[in-house]
């Protein structure tokens, strides 16, 4: 069927998913798309504020920090926008709770037998993923719970692939159970760094599919080798530059109060004005009901959600993940970014998992802390988990300030706090019961399409790749 390139398409959200959806539509010849963004900037959780110091005007990261060479979708956006990964080279080290060096990965010390065992399990895990779990790294979640895969390959050509693999059903179980089942539990010691510390939850609660869509073996090895991309003007600059190249740049400061789907059309009311569209792409949080987050609202507060949408989207949860930028004394400025592995365990909720230094040799630049504030125990139902209290924001902030003081990097001033709606996901029971298949079956109904983080994963590459996938399939 011929495509109508004049269709009026409303895209809700100006983060990586929404900006890239507009980009991919434009590259296919669509002309009448409109991106609605409620804040005064694009980029979403790719947020890179400015700070003027002795090194001049430098941007620091409150959200996404880095990428890797297998971020092929992000590279699409780079090429479209005319930017490249030209940022500072990142380094890292590790600390114990008392501030002393954590030498767990030092081959020269006594842990050599453990490290050899770990290395053996990493090799075995990589081989298992490539053989017994073929298709595990295909973009998106279509078919996984049914033992099949369908989507774009994680290759430079990103060719469409599909196939059957009954083993993929195992990816619905929590990552810790999955690694134990395949005889490689030690790999969690490596995967946890770029997963839990980056706010994606704990391995005893998050389905393995999420972990491995984000940290496929190739991507994980790039993290291990510190083979990383950064952007001089910050990750937000990628989407700012792409937005500037769009024929229809995102409309900022849009207060959407109502979206109605009737008579085969979509009606969006923003800033008091109603506009008519032919199709709707939602890249904002799909979760319905009350969201205890200052920047997010339930989808049902403005969309005429159906009973089916409500039933599915009420199963979504998100991570309480906060970042805080602070200035320290010049003499306390750290020599690198530090990871505190012990604080990545659930019993240390609210404590600093990382304090991040972006620019070397600039002691007046902001440093950034990262904390998680909620965890689902294995014996809890989703309903019990959602009802239990979380570590309070102010309580966690106080804990973080005490932590960095104990690490010898006391805050003289907090300059920015970023409390986001982070990593929407479903838990193992819903994943195994076909949550993604049910949502994918709704694509196109009422002229509505679902994209954004929850449809793939919360990192920017998976999010952008899903927008590409959606546009290729339906437009």
Task: Confirm if 43 and 17 have CB atoms less than 8 A apart.
Answer: no
Q: What average pLDDT does the segment 426-430 reach? A: 97
Give the position of tokens 């409309």.
251
Q: Across 192-296, where does the E strand assignment appear?
A: 256-262, 265-270, 273-277, 279-282
Cβ–Cβ < 8 Å for 135, 161:
yes
C-alpha span between 147 and 165 (Å, rounded): 5
What percent of the chain stands above pLDDT 70? 98
Task: Provide the CB-side half-sphere exposure for 243 (13 A, CA).
Answer: 24
Q: In what order do the strands lie in the sheet with 92-94?
A: 92-94, 337-339, 354-356, 367-372, 317-328, 411-425
| HSE-CB for 278 with a 13 A CA cutoff | 12
Residue-level pLDDT at 442: 98
Q: Which tokens hold the place of 387?
A: 């009802």
How much is the pLDDT for 126?
Answer: 98
Q: Is 467 left (phi over 0), alpha (psi -120 to 50) or beta?
A: alpha
Largest CA distance in the chain: 71
For position 109, what pLDDT does the model report?
66
Residues 465/139, Cβ–Cβ less than 8 Å: yes
H helices present in 28-174, as ranges: 72-81, 112-131
Residue 395 to residue 351: CA distance in whole angstroms:
10
What pLDDT score does 114 carry?
Answer: 87
Instruction: State residue 352's pLDDT score.
Output: 98
**Cβ–Cβ under 8 Å, residues 368 and 325:** yes
Q: How far apart are the first and last CA of the chain?
A: 11
Residue whose tokens read 């389905």: 207
At 256, the pLDDT band (50, 70, 90 cuts) reads very high
Residue 1 has a pLDDT of 56
Asked if 88 contacts 61 with a C-beta cutoff of 8 angstroms, the reply is no
Can you tell me which residue has the tokens 């003081």? 405
**Can you tell me the mean pLDDT for 459-474?**
97
384 Cβ contact list (under 8 Å, min separation 6)? none
The answer to whether 60 and 234 have CB atoms below 8 angstroms apart is yes
Position 363 scores a pLDDT of: 85
Residues 6+ apart with CB under 8 A from 89: 228, 230
> Which residue matches tokens 């003007």?
233
Distance CA 456, CA 139 (A): 7
pLDDT of the residue at 285: 96
Question: Given this model, what pLDDT does residue 110 score?
Answer: 56
The three-state secondary structure class of 74 is helix
pLDDT digit string, tens, across residues 152-203: 998 889 999 999 999 999 999 999 999 999 999 999 999 999 999 999 999 9
Closest to 206 measured CA to CA, from 105, 337, 318: 318
In whole angstroms, give the CA distance from residue 10 to residue 26.
13
Total number of residues shown for the chain: 475
The answer to whether residues 159 and 139 touch, using CB atoms and an 8 Å cutoff, is no
Query: Band of the pLDDT at 42, cuts 50, 70, 90?
Result: very high
Q: Which CA distances in Å does 152 have to 49, 282, 423?
A: 33, 21, 22
| pLDDT score for 107 | 66
What domains sit in the chain, N to C, each tagged with a CATH number? 9-85+232-316+428-474 (3.50.50.60), 104-225 (1.10.405.20), 319-423 (3.30.70.1990)
Residues 6+ apart with CB under 8 A from 474: 443, 444, 449
- Listing from the earlier edge strand, what are the strands of the sheet with 9-12? 33-36, 9-12, 279-282, 448-450
pLDDT tens-digit series, residues 107-118: 676 568 888 899
Mean model confidence pLDDT for the chain = 95
pLDDT tier at 440, thresholds 50, 70, 90? very high
| pLDDT band per the 50, 70, 90 thresholds, residue 54 | confident
Q: Which residue has the tokens 């979380």?
A: 390
Name the residue with tokens 């139902």: 381
Distance CA 198, CA 176 (A): 17
Residues β-bridged to residue 317: 425
Contact 67, 74 (CB under 8 A): yes
For residue 353 the two structure tokens come to: 């998992």
Whole-number pLDDT of residue 407: 94
- pLDDT over 80 at 335, yes or no: yes
pLDDT given at position 56: 77
Q: Which helix (H) or strand (E) holds 396?
A: helix 393-406
- Compute CA distances 196 → 39, 220, 292, whole Å: 27, 13, 21
Residue 103 has pLDDT above 90, yes or no: no
Top pLDDT among 86 and 55 is at: 86
Would the pLDDT of 429 be above 70? yes
Asked if the model's pLDDT at residue 53 lies above 80, the reply is no
């Amino acid at each position: 069927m011929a495509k109508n390139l004049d269709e009026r398409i409303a895209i809700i959200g100006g983060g990586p998913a929404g900006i890239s959806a507009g980009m991919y539509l434009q590259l296919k010849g669509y002309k009448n798309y409109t991106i609605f963004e409620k804040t005064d900037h694009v980029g979403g959780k790719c947020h890179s504020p400015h700070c003027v110091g002795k090194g001049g005007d430098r941007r620091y990261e409150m959200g996404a920090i880095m990428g890797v060479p297998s971020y092929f979708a992000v590279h699409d956006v780079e090429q479209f926008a005319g930017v490249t990964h030209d940022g500072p080279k990142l380094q890292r080290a590790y600390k114990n709770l008392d501030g002393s060096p954590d030498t767990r990965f030092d081959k020269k010390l006594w842990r050599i037998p453990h490290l050899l065992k770990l290395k053996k399990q990493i090799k075995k895990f990589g081989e298992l993923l490539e053989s017994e779990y073929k298709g595990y790294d295909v973009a998106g979640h279509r078919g996984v719970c049914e033992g099949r895969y369908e989507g774009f390959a994680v290759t430079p050509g990103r060719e469409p692939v599909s196939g059957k693999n009954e083993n993929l059903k195992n990816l619905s179980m929590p990552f810790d159970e999955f690694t134990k089942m395949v005889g490689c539990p030690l790999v969690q010691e490596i995967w946890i760094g770029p997963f839990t510390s980056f706010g994606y939850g704990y391995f005893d609660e998050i389905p393995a599919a999420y972990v491995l869509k984000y940290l496929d073996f190739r991507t994980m090895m790039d993290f291990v080798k510190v083979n990383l991309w950064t952007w001089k003007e910050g990750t937000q600059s990628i989407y700012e530059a792409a937005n500037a190249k769009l024929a229809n740049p995102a409309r900022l400061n849009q207060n959407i109060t109502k979206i109605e789907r009737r008579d085969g059309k979509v009606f969006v009311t923003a800033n008091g004005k109603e506009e008519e569209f032919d199709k709707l792409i939602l890249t904002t949080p799909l979760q319905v009901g009350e969201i205890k987050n200052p920047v997010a609202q339930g989808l049902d507060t403005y969309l005429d959600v159906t009973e089916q949408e409500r039933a599915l989207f009420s199963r979504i949860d998100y991570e309480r993940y906060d970042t805080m930028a602070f200035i320290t004394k010049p003499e306390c400025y750290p020599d690198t970014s530090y990871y505190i592995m012990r604080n990545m365990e659930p019993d240390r909720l609210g404590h600093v998992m990382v304090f991040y230094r972006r620019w070397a040799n600039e002691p007046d630049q902001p440093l950034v802390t990262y904390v998680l504030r909620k965890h689902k125990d294995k014996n809890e139902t989703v309903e019990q988990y959602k009802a239990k209290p979380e570590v309070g924001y102010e309580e966690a902030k106080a804990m973080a300030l005490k932590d960095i003081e104990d690490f010898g990097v006391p805050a003289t001033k907090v300059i920015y706090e970023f409390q986001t709606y982070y990593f929407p996901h479903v838990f193992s029971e819903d994943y195994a019961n076909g949550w993604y298949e049910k949502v994918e079956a709704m694509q196109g109904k009422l002229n509505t399409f679902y994209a954004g983080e929850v449809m793939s994963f919360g990192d920017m590459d998976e999010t952008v790749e899903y927008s590409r996938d959606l546009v290729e399939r339906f437009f």
